[in-house]
């Protein structure tokens, strides 16, 4: 293990002697002295992850074997060895006399007694996104934006990066979907408020997670349309079409094509900008070709 300095988002809510566990992005956890430790992938670490995701709940031995050693025989001692290794690692770095993050055998399974001293980033991420959705549903926009921003700050990468077990993939896709919905909400809030830079930043983060997200491409087209940047609208449409063909062998849907058609036919509301001569407007001939191609679909 080695020290880590990339967990500033978790430190925001830390109280004295708080233990933080970072499962989004590169796995790491802190000790009471606020020293961050990384732990290379092995089955003990995977067991730690399963028990943390199911914190304070008993996970049966058969279920743990199914999740972590799906091909192993029931007589295998792999689970017992992983439990022993996990306990030894936690005792070494957190102290054997602690009353948190303890692995206990109970009711034919194992449970991770987490305790109030422990903050797990993926749990905090889910808590903030849930609270943000609730605030948005109640019409409390400023509160929702603040909570969504705190949530996406915690989302520093895919869940349990580097792990390929089936349970990790399921959890990873769930948290990824929450991150996409959070960035989508931030983009929509920013567009409603006329904060085009913030909206573009939210779209950029969306596309970093999902490179073929058509809704994010449409928002980028809207942003540049509102700025009167028609060539940029074309460029984002072309990139969208390229990504959809590359990933799914699909063309942009009718909403995206209709948006481009509206923009290039100058049917889209444009925010006031300094006057520009027609001769200085880039891509003038190409826009006519695009409109003709769209109208033929």
Task: Find the CATH number of the domain harbouring 104.
Answer: 1.10.10.10
C-alpha–C-alpha distance, residues 210 and 30, integer Å: 30
Indicate the residue among 90, 119, 148 that finishes a domain.
119
Residue 195 forms part of a structural domain:
no
Report the DSSP pairing between strands 19-22 and 118-120. Answer: parallel
Indicate the residue among 73, 95, 119 that finishes a domain.
119
Q: What is the pTM of this model?
A: 0.83
Residue 163 forms part of a structural domain:
no
Indicate the residue among 93, 119, 145 that finishes a domain.
119
- Rounded mean pLDDT of 141-149? 98
Residue 93's closest CA among 43, 147, 21? 21
Task: Write out pLDDT tens, residues 191-248.
Answer: 999 999 999 999 999 999 999 999 999 999 999 999 999 999 999 999 999 999 999 9
C-alpha–C-alpha distance, residues 52 and 111, integer Å: 9
C-alpha–C-alpha distance, residues 89 and 130, integer Å: 33
**According to the model, what pLDDT value does residue 140 have?**
98
Residue 49 forms part of a structural domain:
yes
Residue 110 forms part of a structural domain:
yes
Our count of domains for the chain comes to 2
Residue numbers of the domain that contains 251: 211-297
Residue 187 forms part of a structural domain:
no
């Amino acid at each position: 293990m080695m020290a880590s300095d990339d967990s500033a988002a978790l430190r925001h809510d830390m109280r004295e002697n708080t233990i933080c566990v970072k499962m989004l992005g590169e796995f790491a956890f802190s000790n009471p002295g606020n020293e961050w430790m990384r732990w290379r992938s092995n089955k003990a670490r995977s067991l730690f992850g399963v028990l943390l995701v199911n914190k304070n709940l008993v996970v049966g031995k058969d279920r743990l074997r199914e999740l972590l050693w799906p091909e192993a025989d029931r007589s295998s001692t792999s689970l017992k060895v992983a439990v022993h290794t996990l306990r030894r690692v936690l005792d070494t770095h957190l102290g054997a006399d602690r009353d948190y993050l303890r692995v206990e055998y109970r009711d034919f399974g194992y449970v991770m007694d987490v305790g109030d001293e422990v903050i797990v980033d993926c749990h905090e991420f889910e808590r903030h996104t849930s609270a943000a959705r609730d605030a948005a549903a109640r019409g409390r926009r400023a509160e929702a934006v603040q909570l969504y921003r705190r949530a996406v700050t915690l989302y520093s990468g895919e869940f349990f990066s580097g792990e390929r077990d089936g349970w990790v993939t399921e959890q990873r896709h769930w948290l990824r979907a929450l991150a996409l919905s959070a960035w989508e909400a931030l983009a929509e809030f920013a567009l409603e408020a006329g904060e085009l830079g913030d909206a573009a930043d939210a779209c950029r983060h969306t596309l970093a997670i999902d490179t073929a997200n058509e809704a994010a491409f449409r928002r980028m087209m809207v942003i540049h349309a509102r700025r009167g940047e028609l060539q940029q609208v074309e460029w984002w449409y072309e990139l969208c079409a390229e990504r959809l063909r590359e990933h799914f062998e699909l063309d942009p849907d009718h909403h995206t094509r209709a948006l481009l058609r509206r923009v290039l036919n100058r049917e889209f509301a444009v925010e006031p900008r300094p006057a520009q001569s027609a001769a200085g407007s880039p891509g003038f001939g190409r826009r006519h070709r695009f409109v003709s191609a769209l109208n033929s679909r």
